[in-house]
Structure 1
């Protein structure tokens, strides 16, 4: 039996969800062989899940935070000792900036670049980057600066890109000084949004407001990113305004422009990294789940990603969720054979969050009882 859930947002990590599911199973079937594979779709918990699933290690590092001050960040090195997994939010995330200080025009991805450098120093030659949750709108320019790129204005003077506002003065980019080790590094980015870099559905107008940008600031940042697109095309001969480029305040564009990285579906990237199919090929049942099963679940979320891989081997899949807001036909057509909410009585959200471990255990124990009846 395989347990392969995502985190239950604001409640439990994927690792803890998997542990509570195991407790519920063993209450009924203590002898069953269990493989736990906590997962992520590339968002919160990416590092923790991949490190745990591959017997890797966590690395703590002080880096430059979104506002230029020092913050405590982290990344992981997987069990192969060659692959680093980095969540940009760990160094450049919105959670690192208090609400009253949020300002998308002055926040930087420089610290994420510092994490990349540290991973290179630790001998890594492959990077998995989690894109999202950022406080930034600099198109990854800060990250590129940390790696050695130099940005110039129209007078040929080197300028510092400390945030999206500084892209207004940008006229050319020199990447000759980018760390030579990057030429030998494979870069994969977990990206599950299709927002382009600019436009009404781009990085600025869609995500800028939650990062503290008012209407006037949004218009300025949009024009600055348009200039960024032009300069990258002129200096690096790359087109960076494509679907997905707007992820992480334009970090998706930066990954392609400066790292020659490939943007991928987050769940597929994660499943490949943990060698998911090798671990499930003899499983009788897979139990997955996430905090909320809804219309977004069919677009690259963990339960559906798991079910699609499972169907190759005709393995049944059961999903748990704190909330289910999707039609049965819709989710069943995606390969999930049955799904269940863990909520067993009327309760407030706070009550549900506090009781999540127990609710998971109780729900899964009843599911396993039924499963055992059906298989006797």
Structure 2
């Protein structure tokens, strides 16, 4: 019997690679003759670099870049061969991810996406012209002006002063000058790996949906939304195109919007891992497919990696199991897409206890599922 393991990370607890290893051990405990194939998954957020590099036999390159609060941080990007070309794999989460900002310092007015521009320039200097950029897990809500500023675009307030690229700078923006954009960008191809399809503005946009988890108060949300709307108007006036309503423009606090203006193409993050790993062919060889994530709920249906896996398994006629840290609001919507949906937490417990026992709970849940499969 052959299993394909294709879980996302259990964010803040276990990496996708760790989840694969725990699942592998649990299955072999009950089915020692099983053949295990594993593909750590990601959908554009934390772990995207590792997942794509691992599935593509690539390597990781370290660099210094601007962090979420403007101070330098040590970060990294991946280098792979993709469709016959050298390709750099970057992710917002490793440059200005939310966990990089202490809880008491989380304030989307004071965070910037500038580090992504630094990383792109570093890769350009090494000859890369093709990029995969994961957008999940950012601490920013700057509309991508930090990114663009690092690449040479200039943003000015009404007094003619140049703006650095923090979220609060959007409220001062009056003029954009694209003439300084790094000329190498024109020969680049950007694949934007995102797990969300939110537009830039509105109640389903970048600010109102994701701002609160980044530290925005109710007053901040109104200020940021008004500033983001004004920014979109200035961008439209400057470029002659309106991309604010494009699905995914609101990803990573509007970073998707900026990358679209660089000619980027938004695709589901899980699809990028699929394409670089040969996932479809490996599902075809499996008898069972096992996936999971930290918390599965109704939002999983909106492009999250486990749902992408379920659809591929269904198309191949293979049963899929979902084993996640927890099952949240609306998880019942997932039932038609899986042979079974399981939570690793089966008892009342506090967060500290859940985190402490995450490995054992996952092992137990998968072992029990393997025991059931062995009796079918």
- Whether TM-score is above 0.5 comes out as yes
1:337 maps to 2:345? no
Change in CA separation of 1:50 and 1:233 when aligned onto 2, cut-off 3 Å:
same
Measured in 1, the distance between the counterparts of 2:134 and 2:363 equals 30
Measured in 1, the distance between the counterparts of 2:92 and 2:65 equals 12
1:237 Cα deviation from its structure 2 partner = 1.5
1:175 maps to 2:178? yes
Q: Flag as ranges the 4+ runs of structure 1 deviating above 6 A.
A: 326-329
Change in CA separation of 1:321 and 1:224 when aligned onto 2, cut-off 3 Å:
closer
Alignment correspondent of 1:82: 86
Q: What TM-score comes out, normalization by structure 2 length?
A: 0.89
Alignment correspondent of 1:6: 8
- 1:153-164 equivalences in 2 (<5 Å): 153=157, 157=160, 159-164=162-167
1:237 maps to 2:223? no
- 1:316-335 equivalences in 2 (<5 Å): 316-325=319-328, 330-334=333-337
Measured in 1, the distance between the counterparts of 2:156 and 2:291 equals 49
1:154 Cα deviation from its structure 2 partner = 5.3
Structure 1 unaligned blocks of 5 or more: none
Question: Which secondary structure state, in structure 1, belongs to the residue aligned with residue 369 of structure 2?
Answer: helix
1:262 maps to 2:272? no
1:18 Cα deviation from its structure 2 partner = 0.3
Question: Which secondary structure state, in structure 2, belongs to the residue aligned with residue 366 of structure 1?
Answer: helix
Change in CA separation of 1:238 and 1:188 when aligned onto 2, cut-off 3 Å:
same
Measured in 2, the distance between the counterparts of 1:175 and 1:114 equals 17
Measured in 1, the distance between the counterparts of 2:288 and 2:21 equals 16
Q: What TM-score comes out, normalization by structure 1 length?
A: 0.89
Alignment correspondent of 2:27: 25
Structure 2 unaligned blocks of 5 or more: none
Change in CA separation of 1:209 and 1:178 when aligned onto 2, cut-off 3 Å:
same
Change in CA separation of 1:343 and 1:65 when aligned onto 2, cut-off 3 Å:
closer
Change in CA separation of 1:224 and 1:346 when aligned onto 2, cut-off 3 Å:
closer
Q: Check the 8 A contact 1:20/1:357 in 2, yes or no.
A: yes
Tell me which moved more, 157-166 or 3-12.
157-166
Measured in 1, the distance between the counterparts of 2:351 and 2:340 equals 24
Alignment correspondent of 1:363: 365
Measured in 1, the distance between the counterparts of 2:244 and 2:107 equals 23
> Paired residues, what number?
371
1:111 Cα deviation from its structure 2 partner = 1.0
Q: Check the 8 A contact 1:193/1:247 in 2, yes or no.
A: yes
Question: Which secondary structure state, in structure 2, belongs to the residue aligned with residue 264 of structure 1?
Answer: strand
